[in-house]
């Protein structure tokens, strides 16, 4: 089962990942009161910055992530044996304002 939250981080909107266990432990110990702080390790996924939207799904025992920027869409697989992401396909995209104009 996939247990690593994906998020975008920083002003460059890097697609990033963080281990779920520290978050899960903190939530389990909250007892309906939010106090203290939580430090988590955040690692960038490949060199994907400017991420505007992403989605992840586990199919066939493999996690696949699709991440979109204003200029490209990346399809990425996570290898549990290698513990790393591999970009398997990059597709050109167009900015939202151009795409919207084409359908009007």
- Kindly provide the b/e burial profile for residues 36-67, where b requires at least 16 CB atoms within 10 angstroms of the residue's own CB: eeeeeeeeebeebeebeebebeeeeeebbbeb
Closest of 102, 84, 104, 83 to residue 94, by C-alpha = 102
Residue ranges making up the domain that contains 38: 6-102
Mean pLDDT over the full length of the chain: 79
Give the model's confidence band at 73: pLDDT under 50 very low, under 70 low, under 90 confident, else very high. Answer: very high
* pTM of the shown model: 0.69
pLDDT band with cut points at 50, 70 and 90 for residue 54: very high
HSE on the CB side for 13, CA within 13 Å? Answer: 9
Is residue 64, in this structure, part of any structural domain at all? Answer: yes
Per-residue pLDDT band for 89 (boundaries 50, 70, 90) equals: very high
The domain tally of the chain equals: 1
The pLDDT value recorded for residue 68 is: 92
Whole-number pLDDT of residue 36? 65
**Is the confidence at residue 17, as pLDDT, over 80?**
yes
Residue 79 has pLDDT above 90, yes or no: no
> What are the pLDDT digits (tens) for 59-72?
777 889 999 998 89
Residue 83 lies in a domain: yes
Position 15 in a domain: yes
Q: Is residue 1 situated within a structural domain?
A: no
* CA-wise closest residue to 26 among 17, 36, 16: 36
């Amino acid at each position: 089962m996939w247990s690593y939250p994906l998020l975008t981080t920083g002003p460059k909107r890097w697609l990033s990942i963080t281990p779920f266990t520290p978050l899960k432990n903190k939530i389990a110990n909250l007892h309906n009161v939010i106090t203290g702080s939580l430090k988590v390790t955040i690692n960038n996924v490949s060199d994907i910055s400017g991420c505007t939207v992403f989605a992840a799904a586990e199919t066939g025992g493999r996690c696949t992530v699709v991440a979109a920027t204003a200029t490209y869409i990346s399809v990425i697989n996570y290898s549990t044996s290698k513990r790393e992401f591999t970009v398997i396909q990059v597709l050109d995209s167009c900015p939202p304002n151009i795409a919207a104009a084409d359908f009007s």
